[in-house]
Structure formats: structure tokens, C-alpha cells
Structure 1
């Protein structure tokens, strides 16, 4: 649900389970509930149940179906939390998942060892991109992104900054990103440090997978570089990240194209 940048907070709150769909109420009946929201687009509740901990994400209707499908798909590959329920009720979507053991990339002391963090972050993305994705429920992520970018460019009232040829040049650059499957992998789609769960720097899994699918690996690399800069406040760890992803496994020119376009749209 968008780019996230902060440590996940947990604030204990009173919660009326009668506001939830009936099918979800038994999971929360005797649980302690915390608000752990980090985005304006979604309310996220951390639920401390008697037998297991869970997360319940609540958004506007139709915003969590994709995340539920991708989470379920990657759970089948041992890389995401188990989906307990996805429900639509009234104007809202509800996604209930088991909480993975561990802490995200900006919690649990991970930021105190930025070099190790950048290394594991690169290796984890390389591993995700190596996973077979022939049966992925969203096989056309690059085409979807290109369409989103085209609409973003066409809707800009002013020239696109960073492109001397303006809108026309930006659209030509976008064309270069279409029409090839050479770089297609299983994408996370929002590869930021808060969406990687680890235990003592060991990968446990990925969360917030609603933008995932089969697509151009350089899109994940872009967001990996972005989050290291944002969360560590420095560009010093970009090279470590790319080294541990694998310098021979990406095209610097293509990464530069994704960077130029994503930075400005």
C-alpha cells in the first residue's frame, strides 16, 4: 500500500469487533489489539491472539484483493505470511494474515548495521527474483507500470523535469521499457526496507505485496536504492546492495531509465 519509511508503531487500542465482518470476529474475540498503521491509505491492526499474532489491514473496497492473492501465492513458495481471510464488507476491504516472526528492515536494530543490512537486502531481492513465477496471478506487471507512467506523463500540465525534450522524450524513454521479457522476474513491486521481515538478518519473508507480479527486475532495484537512501539518509550503501544483488544480473542503462522516469512521475 504505497512507500513506507518509518518504524512500525504498536499502540494498544480498544476495538469493537462488531464493526468487522462476522467471519473475522472469532479471530479477534479474545485478542489484544494494537494500531500499527504506517500509511494513510490503510489502517493496520496488530492482533495478539491467544495462539498466534496476526495483522489485519483495512482499506477502501477493492484495494486489497491483489495483495491477498500475491501474499497467498508467495506463501505457497515460503516467502510471505499465510492469508487467513480476505473479506469485502460495505465500503471496505479486510485482509487478515499471520504475523511473520521477526522484525522489518527498519526495526529490531537492523539500521544499526547498515552495511550488513544493505548486503542482506540485495541478497534477498536476488533470491526473490530467482524464484520460478510461471504460475503468478499477475503476469503483466511491466505493461501495467508502463501504462501508469504513460498516464502520469500525459496528465502532467508542465514539461517533465529532467527530460530536455519534455513529454515527448519521456514517452520515447518509456517505449524502451516495453516489449521485452528478457528482464522479467517475480517482482515484489514495493521493495522497501519496511517490507522485508528478518530475524537477526535472516530473511523470513516479504509483506505488502499488492504491487507485485511478473515484471522488469529493474523496478525493484530502483525502489531498493530509494529506500536505502531514504531510511539510512545516505547513498553510501547503494553499491553494497547492487554488489550483493549481482552486478552481472542487471542492466545499468535500463536501471537509469527506470530511475529517470520514476523520479519524475
Structure 2
């Protein structure tokens, strides 16, 4: 079995693959101080809950945007699983597609993995949208070449800034407003309208501008925790796949295995 680990700024996602099937997934808050021993205690207990032995895992790959967490993940793999992990973007797990931007090395692992998975899932000209700590928009052409993108603050980050920099605005939960009216009648509704519909308008507007610049028909692929919520309130997405990033890891691991 393959253990794929997506190391994000907010959370780490651990996913177990049996072939192409995701057998289990778990999430833990990102903390660069967490040791390999702590990861091991947490992970081995969770494996037990689904009846999987550590010996069932024969391959590990991780993709990381938090370099300070990498060493302790390697300790987990080497000392507790007895496996040298593949690192997304390096060695046998190199990206395998052209990155046509000014600084190719600056492309984050999560963004590259999303492009890899979306290319296999959809193909053709694409815009890939990932709703995470930051929201990222990626342009991928029909040859699978990464052409560039957009980075914006994630919706929760935007809300944190709004509440943190004001004296009286309350903390609210991210949700769709109960009505489609964009004229709020109280402070909480006004905030929710501004955050939610403002974010939908930003997202739709940027995608339409990207479409116009690309100049060819494109499909829009969305992933991330809030993709399903937004999909219920916009027609802009062609495909929504919450597992896009970890599927990118699985694709790289499969390629690496074929190189052996």
C-alpha cells in the first residue's frame, strides 16, 4: 500500500492507497515542531482502527510546502515504517511536466501536484483552482505545460484579517447566506454576504479573465476543503475533486515505481 502525505500550511493529509483507491485518509494540524515520534504514535493508532499493519505499507511519498516539517516526516518513515520516502518534485518523483514561468523552482508542491492530477483526470486546456490557506488558480495548456497562475488570500484568511483588524466585528462561520440577497439587514449577515458572495464574485471574475487571456475553451477543475460548498452556488466548475492533491502524489509514486 502507498502512504501519501500532503503537507499544507494549515493541515497535513495522510492518505492510504490500495492501487488507485483511497482506502483511508486522516488530517492533522500542521505544526513544524511535531516530532517524528509524535507522528508515529498518532499514525500507528489510526492504522489500527482500520485494521492495517505498518508492514502493509510498502511505499511512502510526501509533497510539502512547509520545509521545516520535512525532517520529522522522514524520521517517521525511516524509523517507524522502515521506508525511505519519495519527495514530490525530486529524484524519481520529479514533476515530469514543463513549468513555463520565470522562476520554475518557486512553484509550490501542492500546485504542481494539482496540475499533474488534473491533467490525468481532465486533460486539454485547464484552470485548476485550489481552496486552501491561500486560493490558487493555475493555467495548464493542452500539452500539460504549466503556464502560470494567481495566488489570493484564502477565504478564512480574509475573514481572520477582517475580524482581527476591527474592534467590534464578530467572528462568524463560513457558510452560504440563507438568501441570495446581497443587502444585509444586520452586521453578521452583512459580513457573511461580503465574505461569501464577495469571494464567489472574485473567483468567477478571475476565472473569466483567465479564460479570455487563454483564448481557447478551458475546463475548470476545483479542489480544497471549500470547493464543494462553492460548487453549490456557482456554475463555474466543470470538475470538483477533493482528493486532487493526494491523487497527484499517487501518480508520481506510480511513475517512480515503474522506474525501478
TM-score (normalised: structure 1): 0.28
TM-score (normalised: structure 2): 0.28
